[in-house]
Structure 1
């Protein structure tokens, strides 16, 4: 027998009168009170559905538990998308109505200690299981509540894993190792969902085990396989608007923690000023990720962030040119697979930062050398590394 929506709502309301979680016995009793009797398997199915709705992610739970899923996106009651690593696909998941989507968004936000309502119609938070939640309510999203969930990987990837997966060509692996071991300052760049965090975590695993890594993140996503990792996470303001701790503050705190490397999970705001200052005051090997359409766009992105944080354009280029050594750029190829696209070296010409391609990777995996290859080899040699 299939329960209609009204019946499920009445069962939910009956169970909500007590603080106890749904159990088969309680669900069966609530159904009997409504004049409905179901078999054991049906009762268990209803119980699991109600548990997911009350304490989990509702109908999204099966997608979030599915191995390989990186993103789950809800654009409305009947439009759910999932990314399993090879691009977005429609998922056969439906919500009862817009109210159910909004209820889920509000409950997820509340579970992370955040507010989501008409007065605060958007939220960005990390859930207890590690997933990153972003949600927007009408009228900011006119078509209805929008939910975006970024799912952290359940496993830690090393460079050999990325080579096996085809993300990194085998011939480039020694050069990536060299960038880390020679303590070059570098950024991993690319668009959304290109695997920047995964690649950065794999590179950090190649750091000397004796080094102390201080990770500064907005949400804890990096999981490097390294014995000495210290984590700092930003904190959003509470419902009264107080208590915010930004990445810029955490970078300054990291400088006082005797770091061998300062790692910023995502450079996207005022923290760029403190990071560039740190890299220019003897903190070698610093790194992070940055959203950029191409490696060549990195100077413009840093310039925009630096100017927004109060630096003059000339100062941004001067500091970045002195601090940054290399850029590892990722993209999705024509088949939507994550690929390393190129390694560029940074240089300052007449006071302006520019990127020079050192190694490029084609869609067929062929690696070619660019004008910056000798410069990259020279920097690795000075750092005591020869691929």
Structure 2
């Protein structure tokens, strides 16, 4: 894998830390800004909504810019949004900064996904995606738990400042190390925008995007509210939140790494095996969350399964939209973040039900079950792919 791909992953690490860090900060933000934990959870949805809207919007806006300039500009806007967020005492302003940061993140990721696939052979898109998403998984291992510890020691605002600081080396790395030329002028030259958008009418692409959104909704639905599960259901102290986040992150890194080696050649095996296992895992975690040992084991397993299945589906989005070279990354980003927007909303709604803090876990199980039902039209294709995988 080329060095430029790893430099992009550094920026994804900084942005992933921001995207996931609220899982350990929501209670403190709620108290400081005078809102409920459920309302504070909407900050995650605000970020995801900005990503959904921003992915195609920013990709279309920047499709004819030099890629290095686009990537650098998005990182700097992301940095500025976190400076404002760290300084504000207004929940609406903080909400707005999350949307702005998400727009910048969406633009960056859409361009980065397209750039990553241009750096490797056409049949290695899954591997390239795995390297890029490793920045996100490492964020869940180191960045997010580190942010939770920093938030515990110095307050949630310190974590926002830390993300802003993380953007600086990422910007330097992009400026000095990323130089991707797909045309004579270094711009992303390709088909007309209308032609690329027309690919969204293809049923297979829409179906794979929907499956990716549902799986990611399940992931974000529970991940956003892991903190109350750790403290209220399992009865563990606040410091255990960081431990649980690390375990989820380690699992996600394992999952995306394994899937990166399988998603190009054996996607059917990952989807047909990983989907049912992911469903069983969410249901088991909902029933056994009061047991610290079960919680720790299942959080790791669910992190691995969620990211293995999710990254494979997103890789399939890139394959299914191969005829939209400058917009394919935005389609993948939108699929990821439709789920990230819907998941916390569904999960938050369950907190006021009889399920209480377990509600997000049950909701995640329901979302994965829905994905398995939606995947029925692909059953023949998946079974054929599994047989091919096993024979090879």
- TM-score (normalised: structure 2): 0.28
**Which has more helix, going by share of residues?**
2
Q: Which structure has more RCO (C-alpha within 8 Å, separation ≥ 6)?
A: 2
**Which has more strand, going by share of residues?**
1
